[in-house]
């Protein structure tokens, strides 16, 4: 894998902390990690999954109704005729599809109910997605500081920020996340959700 060279602003902050080629290489790797994780954090996975469940429920409900019409006692419904044609095409016998489709109809009804329960459970689709990039980069930065025998401090005041906090903010900015605040960086370095 090709190593990513950090941007000029990140390189400047990193060299202020420790002027070492190896340290700079490690910071570049952490920036690459942050960039990849930030891209994953930014995708609307929760809302897309929620929409997909809604689509599934819509189609599962319609197909369940269609199969119920096909399975009614009299075979004079258009759905029953269509299912018979499918049975002839699949099995060579018209009524074989009726037998096989009963288990499908049962499964669809169960899956539709389960999807409804998933949609009702708000904890499955949080409104504010968790940001994993700062936490992972914070852990990697702590390990890098320990490897290079640097003190990991999470001090944040109006006048001064610790080297680790400044560096994590610079990594985030270099990776395309300019919104990471010093307080967020402090939390991420402590391993807490941002």
End-to-end CA distance of the chain: 29
Q: 125: which residues sit within 8 A by CB, 6+ positions away?
A: 46, 47, 49, 50
CA distances from 151 to 45, 86, 115, 159, 172 (A): 37, 71, 49, 19, 20
- Those residues with Cβ within 8 angstroms of residue 108's Cβ, 6 or more apart along the chain or in another chain: 60, 63, 64, 67
The predicted pLDDT at position 127 comes to 60
Sequence spans of domains, the chain: 8-44+129-189, 45-124
> Is the CA virtual torsion 112, 115, 117, 120 positive or negative?
negative
pLDDT at 45 over 80: no
CB 172 within 8 A of CB 134: yes
Instruction: Dump pLDDT digits (tens) for 144-193.
Output: 999 999 999 999 988 899 999 999 999 999 999 999 999 999 999 998 98
Has this prediction a pTM greater than 0.75?
no
């Amino acid at each position: 894998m090709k190593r990513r060279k950090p941007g000029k602003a990140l390189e400047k902050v990193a060299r202020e902390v420790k002027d070492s080629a190896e340290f700079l290489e490690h910071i570049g790797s952490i920036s690459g990690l942050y960039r990849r994780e930030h891209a994953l954090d930014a995708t609307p996975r929760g809302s897309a999954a929620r929409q997909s469940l809604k689509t599934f429920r819509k189609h599962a409900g319609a197909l369940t109704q269609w199969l119920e019409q096909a399975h009614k006692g009299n075979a004079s419904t258009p759905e029953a005729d269509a299912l018979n044609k499918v049975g002839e095409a699949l099995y060579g016998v018209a009524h074989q599809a009726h037998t096989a489709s009963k288990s499908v109809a049962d499964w669809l009804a169960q899956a539709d109910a389960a999807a409804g329960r998933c949609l009702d459970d708000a904890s499955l689709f949080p409104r504010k997605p968790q940001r994993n990039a700062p936490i992972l980069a914070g852990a990697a930065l702590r390990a890098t500081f320990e490897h290079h025998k640097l003190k990991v401090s999470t001090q944040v005041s109006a006048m001064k920020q610790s080297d680790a906090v400044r560096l994590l903010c610079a990594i985030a900015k270099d990776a395309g996340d300019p919104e990471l605040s010093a307080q967020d960086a402090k939390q991420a370095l402590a391993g807490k959700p941002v």
